[in-house]
Structure 1
């Protein structure tokens, strides 16, 4: 009985081996067809990916200055749950309006807690000579456009004009935090 079972298995194997086809490997096409995607489809945007509290894409701040600014923001968030991001950029991509870019970047990064909308973003471009404070919907009830503009014109911009970018942002952050209670 075992011999018959072995013969059946052996015959089955021989039958399958003789019916196998050899598959030839094809050489890759040296001129593959080009596939084109538009930037929206790929999920690309004009916005850089957030790195943390300080997003210095223009390399304005020293590592020590970034740490100091981060500590100010972290301490404030710990006490209040309000979120702040500082962003430096060289370009606004396809945008033509810096203020629109700043608002859209803040929305895209979702600065502030979802259910509180308590975020604030400072977007600065040394190259473009522009700065904007963008607030979340709840934040703007406390830090109104008038307050933000006054802090920009009285505290931040005078320092920026002197080339003191870190001092301008630190003074501005301190003043915003003082008013955001």
Structure 2
């Protein structure tokens, strides 16, 4: 009898153990192994992304002006609040769950302040038609899962449907900034 493969939180250590971190922790490759009921591993294709600043456009979705505008928004947010936020476009998730992918990315890159865990990642994977706003535990009470879902549905998705990725990402960053004014 075939049972569906599921990701278990206990398997996070398996995923993190599979992270290969490059020089300075900037390049990474994640290999996720899914386990079925018989505990046999099914490897997922690796996806490599190199952190290139507050905006990492690995999927090449953004114009130079969109990237520059986002970078300015993110720099001002960090200067004003101390919280670190990055925007990432990924060419694909390599079959990984977007939540797992984003969490592994944030941990590998060290987004947010150590001990405070106040990092935010806004991730878009257009080929997989998925997006996520991942929030560190230190901000989760102020920027809830419901807040993130509303920002995705009201700000990002409508712009993305029109092919305006830069506009959707700028609107999302503005909404997050409004939720975390200090």
Question: Paired residue for 1:35?
Answer: none
TM value normalised by structure 1: 0.73
Larger radius of gyration: 1
Measure the CA separation in 1 of the matches of 2:155 and 2:164: 11
Measure the CA separation in 2 of the matches of 1:138 and 1:104: 17
> 29, 32, 40: which one pairs with 1:45?
29
Measure the CA separation in 2 of the matches of 1:64 and 1:124: 18
CA-atom RMSD in angstroms: 1.9
Where has structure 1 moved over 4 Å in runs of 4 or more? 40-44
Question: Paired residue for 1:134?
Answer: 134
Measure the CA separation in 1 of the matches of 2:65 and 2:112: 25
Measure the CA separation in 2 of the matches of 1:158 and 1:62: 19
Gaps of 5+ in 2: 1-17, 22-27, 31-47
Matched, 1:104 2:104: yes
Measure the CA separation in 2 of the matches of 1:97 and 1:140: 20
Question: Paired residue for 1:57?
Answer: 58
> Secondary structure in 2 aligned to 1:124?
strand
Pairing 1:163-174 to 2, within 5 Å after superposition: 163-174=163-174
1:96 Cα deviation from its structure 2 partner: 2.8
Question: Paired residue for 1:76?
Answer: 77
Measure the CA separation in 1 of the matches of 2:101 and 2:133: 11
> Secondary structure in 2 aligned to 1:176?
helix
Q: Which has the higher strand share?
A: 2
> Secondary structure in 1 aligned to 2:132?
strand
Matched, 1:161 2:161: yes
Gaps of 5+ in 1: 1-39
Measure the CA separation in 2 of the matches of 1:172 and 1:81: 18
Matched, 1:151 2:135: no
1 or 2 for the larger relative contact order (CA 8 Å, sep ≥6)?
Answer: 2
